Amino acid sequence: MVAYFTNGTTEFLRKLKAQETAKVWVFEGAEGALAYTEEPNAASFTSPRTYELVIGTGDVPDQGYIAINNIPVTDEGRPIFEDMFKRRAGKIDQSPGFHALRVLRPQSGNTYLVLTAWESMQHFEDWKQSEAFQHAHKKDTDQPKRPPFSGGPAYVTTYHIDNEA
């Protein structure tokens, strides 16, 4: 599966979504708005950022909260990074309020996206405080400060979805 993103104003992306026959979600956040689709026939996405699905669970909802972890990964670190997430697969699925996970490999560039969809921001925040999160993100004391696959600092962007609006 392939996933596509494009940026724009909320108004522009809502118009794009209304004209599109493919399933499109509009994510709204402090950094701006994103349109997202998992369908290759989205005609409105003329110059999208394209990603290949590494791991996908659940369904992206029409309403809720999206957190996207943007993680730069070196070329030689890609197999390590992907294997790490494959070993974690399924651990987040039982978290209260969890809807979907997408680990996305960039077709160009080096920044992977780890998209999680939640019922609400509070569910996401609760998961970050959970034992499961702490276990998945713990660092051994003898590990370097940055993981071996790191291509630079990671950052999280967050969005609200209200595709019924």
* First CA to last CA distance, the chain: 27
Q: Please report, for residues 4, 71, 154, 158, the alpha-carbon distance to residue 23 in angstroms, rounded to integers and kept in the order given.
A: 11, 26, 29, 21
Residue 145's pLDDT is what? Answer: 67
DSSP state of 45: -
DSSP state of 21: S
Asked whether the beta carbons of 35 and 159 are under 8 A apart, the reply is: no
Q: How many domains does the chain have?
A: 1
For residue 1, which amino acid is it? M
Question: Other CB atoms closer than 10 Å to residue 152's CB: what's the count?
Answer: 13
Structure tokens at 137: 């993100």
Backbone angles phi, psi at 126, to 5 degrees: -65, -40
**pLDDT 10s per residue in the chain (165 long)?**
899 999 999 999 999 999 998 999 999 999 899 999 999 877 778 889 999 999 999 999 999 999 999 999 999 999 999 998 888 777 788 899 999 999 999 999 999 999 999 999 999 999 999 887 776 666 555 555 676 777 789 999 999 998 765
Q: Please report, for residues 89, 95, 100, 111, 141, the alpha-carbon distance to residue 124 in angstroms, rounded to integers and kept in the order given.
A: 17, 9, 12, 22, 27
Question: What CATH number should be reported for the domain holding residue 83?
Answer: 3.30.70.100
Q: Which of 56, 59, 61, 44 is nearest to 7 (CA)?
A: 44
> Which residue segment(s) compose the domain that 73 sits in?
2-162
Structure tokens at 150: 């790191």
